[in-house]
Amino acid sequence: MNFENVLIELNDSLATVIINRPKKLNALNRATIKDLSKAFKTLNKDKTIRAIILTGSGEKAFVAGADISEFANYSVKEGKELAANGQKSLFDLIENLGTPVIAAINGFALGGGLELAMSCHFRIASNNAKMGLPEVSLGVIPGYGGTQRLPQLIGKGMALELIMTAGMINAEKALSYGLVNYVVPQEELLSLCTKMASKITNNSPVAISYAIKAVNAGFKNNAKGFETEINAFGSCFGTADFKEGTTAFIEKRKADFPGT
Ligand code: COA
């Protein structure tokens, strides 16, 4: 498998998927989402692959968010499609994959990056990791399932605090919230993920895929929540706040929101 923005390393029954745009802190543009979607679909079909680790290349970022420069000029319709297509082709795909996926959060996991990590079956972070959903600082909301999966993982109050403040939390805090399962020094991150993966691969892959299905089924009554997120995300693209937020990011200045 050859991709422009994604590397895949295979080692017996374990595949490591590496998002590879380090100069842009692995920001998720449409091409990367497409590559990741293809990679996960292909790996899931390969019955010799029993576990997948997802990580970012470089030492600084897992994924610093959706690619802001790509969507800054989108219309409401394009914004809505961006969220709907991304959710369907990648985030829902990973969450419902029969093969277990561990996110190895090796640095910034912001916006779409944290949403991607939250789609994985569980998360392990390096001690330099920083996590958050800063979308409202850009005049938009999380659109890749963040408004649904963050409260599932850490509870409604903490999730709303994190979303509304656009704040970033460090790895230790993420551990205390239950957002990540373990925190280790960066040089030990992949070895711990590999160790966890090998514990998983000793067990029945069929039973594991059923367990994933059963656990996910308990959260399926929030389909309306995902739909509401997509519509609200799209609506943001018609606001003056969104224009100001994304322009300010690109111009590397603080946003001054008009509130319309
Ligand atoms: N979309 C597009 N480009 C991004 C990006 C994103 N989400 N995050 C980082 N980049 C780019 C930067 O524009 C910069 O590109 P340049 O070198 O061509 O100017 C490069 O990645 C390096 O980022 P930089 O901001 O210089 O690194 P930093 O160490 O000063 O700051 C962050 C790191 C993560 C705090 C900062 O990049 C950031 O705030 N990113 C956006 C986070 C965000 O709002 N994500 C949610 C999007 S919905």
What pLDDT digit, counting tens, does each position of 39-74 carry? Answer: 999 999 999 999 999 999 999 999 999 999 999 999
- The predicted structure's pLDDT at residue 221: 84
Ligand 1 centre to CA of 130 (Å) is 13
* Nearest residue (CA) to ligand 1, atom 38: 64
CATH (domain of 79): 3.90.226.10
* Nearest residue (CA) to ligand 1, atom 39: 64
- The predicted structure's pLDDT at residue 223: 83
- The predicted structure's pLDDT at residue 254: 97
The pLDDT-based confidence of 17 (bands split at 50, 70, 90) is very high
Reduced 3-state DSSP string for the chain:
CCCCCEEEEEECCEEEEEECCHHHCCCECHHHHHHHHHHHHHHHHCCCCCEEEEEECCCCEEECCECHHHHCCCCHHHHHHHHHHHHHHHHHHHHCCCCCEEEEECCEEECHHHHHHHHCCEEEEECCCEEECCHHHHCCCCCCCHHHHHHHHHCHHHHHHHHHHCCEEEHHHHHHHCCCCEEECHHHHHHHHHHHHHHHHCCCHHHHHHHHHHHHHCCHHHHHHHHHHHHHHHHHCCCHHHHHHHHHHHCCCCCCCCCC
Can you give the pTM of this predicted structure?
Answer: 0.98
In a domain, 144, yes or no: yes
- The predicted structure's pLDDT at residue 240: 98
* Percent of the chain predicted with pLDDT > 70: 100
Query: Which atom of ligand 1 lies closest to the CA of 68?
Result: 1
Q: Average pLDDT in the 140-166 region?
A: 98
In a domain, 63, yes or no: yes
Protein residues with CB under 6 Å of any ligand 1 atom: 24-25, 27, 64-69, 108, 110-112, 134-135, 138
- Total domains in the fold of the chain: 1
Domain assignment of residue 124, given as a range: 6-188
Q: Average pLDDT in the 171-185 region?
A: 98
Task: Identify whether 78 is a catalytic site residue.
Answer: no
In a domain, 104, yes or no: yes
Name the catalytic one among 4, 70, 95, 135: 135
* Nearest residue (CA) to ligand 1, atom 40: 64
* Nearest residue (CA) to ligand 1, atom 15: 24
In a domain, 20, yes or no: yes
Ligand 1 centre to CA of 118 (Å) is 20
Task: Report the mean per-residue pLDDT for the chain.
Answer: 97
pLDDT digits (tens, 9 = 90+) for 236-255: 999 999 999 999 999 999 99
The pLDDT-based confidence of 136 (bands split at 50, 70, 90) is very high
Ligand 1 centre to CA of 66 (Å) is 10
In a domain, 219, yes or no: no
- The predicted structure's pLDDT at residue 16: 98
* Nearest residue (CA) to ligand 1, atom 12: 24
In a domain, 256, yes or no: no
Pocket test for ligand 1, best of 20, 23, 25, 140 (most atoms within 8 A of CB): 25
In a domain, 25, yes or no: yes
In a domain, 241, yes or no: no
Task: Identify whether 135 is a catalytic site residue.
Answer: yes
